[in-house]
Chain A
């Protein structure tokens, strides 16, 4: 056990102060310390994408970042996408297009899709598939996830 460090992290708008060991992964901080179990832990080495969250509005793997590194940062998890009991447009599209089965990969898929919809034109399905290629899903065969992202993309008003 190494000595703990006091951190303050803003998660989904709430400010949390905790003393943590430096080796505590951000994913385990969110789940174990804050009880935000929507962020899933799959491979723990940056391959499966299940633990993807936003830090300062950029998607990151929360298994490849330590909680101490998020000190002073804004973090958004899947719980922050919409108010309890509500769904945002992307979540509604996942529901509409049957883009999940067991749901284990879904939080990571949603956070990844949120970032790629913001950053890339996603002009065709190939671009959507490429954007999702860092997130593993063992149920759906990906088709319906691609369809859900495509549907949201079509609704987003094109820029000037």
Chain B
């Protein structure tokens, strides 16, 4: 239960971090909050020869408005996202989701870049990045690139990051006017990973839904968008008959695994229930904001 020995490098810039990663030749690891990495080191599931600490890079933790978007630095802690007035105003669904992430001591330390790079199949932040059409900024020794969240998550604990890549920030479009949101999660114990969670945003135009987004986590290897259910909502007002079809489309879109905590069937059922609740809450909030 103690980590194997490693060399420790403090990076004071992104350039130094990516250069150290490249020097490590695939055997180096970035440590940010360490809330997923250190347990794996303690168990010796991972034995990197070099640990590159990015916690002291000054300009990597920020939340700022940039026109119609919000930029969030990779080293921003979950607790900062949970309590930021900018997030509360422009992305309230994200603030709500953060209260479900583990426990305060973990949220104090865990970073958004770390959570997205780790990509636990039941984590909240990857689902929120997918829901909100976020874009990730990635740096490596050979340059910079951006990638849409929908292309970033490729499997359980697997993302589109090369060995010397590092996530530097995410850019999230603000919720448009007349948009409502909902976030719903079921876990065995508050702060545990979700058995299933769902989030939704609905944007209204003249009383009808002009844009619908529904995402789920805990119901497969990666977070998913329920595209068919979203399409059913566009151009409609939310009615009980429609809700049944939405829930059916969500259940058809997911293929959950069975594990120790819940069966596949139970998770599929739950995914439908939670998505339905999230859509209902989004509809209610959208109508409140429209009046």
Residues of A within 8 A of B39 (CB): 45-46, 64
Output the least CB separation between A88 and chain B (Å): 19
Q: Does A22 contact B (CB under 8 A)?
A: yes
Q: Are A63 and B42 in contact, CB atoms less than 8 angstroms apart? A: yes
Q: Which of B5, B53, B104, B109 contacts A1 (CB 8 A)?
A: B5
Q: How far does the alpha carbon of A5 sit from the alpha carbon of B10 in the complex, in Å?
A: 11
B260 is an interface residue with CB less than 8 A from chain A: no
- Which residues, 67 to 120 on A, are CB-close (under 8 Å) to B? 68-69, 112, 115-116, 119-120
Please determine whether B104 and A45 come into contact, CB atoms closer than 8 angstroms: no
B206 located at the interface, meaning its Cβ lies under 8 Å from any Cβ of chain A in the complex: no
Cα distance A49–B42 when bound, in Å? 16
Instruction: Chain B residues near A58: list those with CB within 8 A.
Output: 79, 105, 108-109
With A129-B190, A130-B190 as given contacts, are A45 and B42 in contact (CB-CB < 8 Å)?
Answer: yes
Question: In the assembly, what is the distance between CA of A2 and CA of B6, in Å?
Answer: 6
Give B4's nearest chain A residue, CB to CB. Answer: A23
- In this assembly, does A147 line the interface, its C-beta being within 8 Å of a C-beta of chain B? no
14 further A-B contacts with Cβ under 8 Å, apart from A61-B105, A68-B53, A133-B189, are A2-B5, A2-B7, A2-B8, A45-B1, A45-B43, A49-B105, A58-B105, A60-B108, A61-B35, A61-B106, A61-B109, A64-B35, A65-B34, A134-B106
B55 at the interface (CB under 8 A from A): yes
Report the Cα distance A69→B31, complex, angstroms. 10
A38 at the interface (CB under 8 A from B): no
- Within the complex, which residue of A21, A44, A119, A129 is in contact with B104, where a contact is CB–CB below 8 Å? A119
Give min CB distance, B44 to chain A, whole Å.
11
With A63-B38, A134-B191: A112-B104 Cβ-Cβ less than 8 Å? yes
Q: Mark B31-52, 1 if CB is under 8 A from A, else 0.
A: 1001100110111000000010
Shortest CB–CB separation between residue A153 and chain B, in angstroms? 15
Provide the B101-125 mask, 1 if CB < 8 A to any CB of A, else 0: 0111110110000000000000000
